[in-house]
Amino acid sequence: MDGNGRWAKRKHLPRTEGHTEGEENLARLVRVAVTRNVGWLTVFGFSTENWVRPRTEVRHILGLHKKLFGRVAELNELNVRIQWMGRPFDSPDARTPKYVQRAIRKAIADTAQNTGMVLTVAFDYGSHAEMVHAAQQAAADGPVTQASIESHLYLPELPPVDVMVRTSGELRISNFMLWQSVGAEVYFTDRPWPDFDGHELDAALALVPQP
Ligand code: IPE
Ligand code: MG
């Protein structure tokens, strides 16, 4: 969900306002995705590399994730099950504060019964960290194979990515779901994340080959 800072700059607002609007936009987009019968929506909220940002910005983004995982009533109304993926909270490099961990655990538990779309929020996530973790676990189990690595990804239930979206004019995939996106279509848009709307989602979904 890139481009929050640039969105804010264009409007002469502080970067934090861009992040706030980005979180609001995610809430809007989840609603739209449900109407389009999307089965799995996975969003990159915060990366393993993002901790180096200024402390006040990091704190603001942490608060927004607490808010996001607090939207349980909305998620239940939409029959959406929320999930999280990222470095395990007990791993040596993990830095997710306890209050965010609690919000994440509670939201997962309180939406676990929902049978509709699965919304996965990647927080303190990086594809390299995920693949190293999976390879270590696989090696501890026995021979390392494609299947054994797949079974140890953070969320093995996630299906392969059909379409990967990158917002805000960047033409690269920055450490996001590299293993899972081998066969993915890629949709690039100049729009910053806060302006990514239903029309944009439809354009991205149009790239997915129909069975
Ligand atoms: C994405 O917006 C939000 C996070 C990475 C947490 P940015 O903050 O990267 O926005 P730009 O790239 O500066 O516009
Ligand atoms: Mg950015």
Ligand nearest to the CA of 193: 1
What pLDDT shows up at residue 47? 97
> Could you tell me if 12 and 1 are in contact, meaning their C-beta atoms sit under 8 angstroms apart?
no
Q: Which residues are catalytic?
A: 2, 50
| C-alpha 2 – ligand 2 centre gap (Å) | 5
Please give the pLDDT value at position 208: 96
2 C-beta closer than 6 A to ligand 1: yes
Cα–Cα distance for residue pair 34/20, rounded to 1 Å: 22
pLDDT at residue 211, as a whole number: 79
pLDDT tens-digit series, residues 17-32: 999 999 999 999 999 9
The pLDDT value recorded for residue 61 is 98
pLDDT value at residue 108: 98
pLDDT of residue 210 exceeding 90, the answer is: no
Residue 13 CA to residue 19 CA, distance in Å, equals 11
CA 175 to ligand 1 center in whole angstroms: 15
pLDDT for position 203: 98
Note the pLDDT of residue 65.
Answer: 98
**Confidence band for 13, pLDDT divided at 50, 70 and 90:** very high
Name, in order, each residue with C-beta under 8 angstroms of 63's C-beta and a sequence gap of 6 or more.
Answer: none
Question: What is the spatial distance between Cα 79 and Cα 90, in angstroms, rounded to a whole number?
Answer: 30
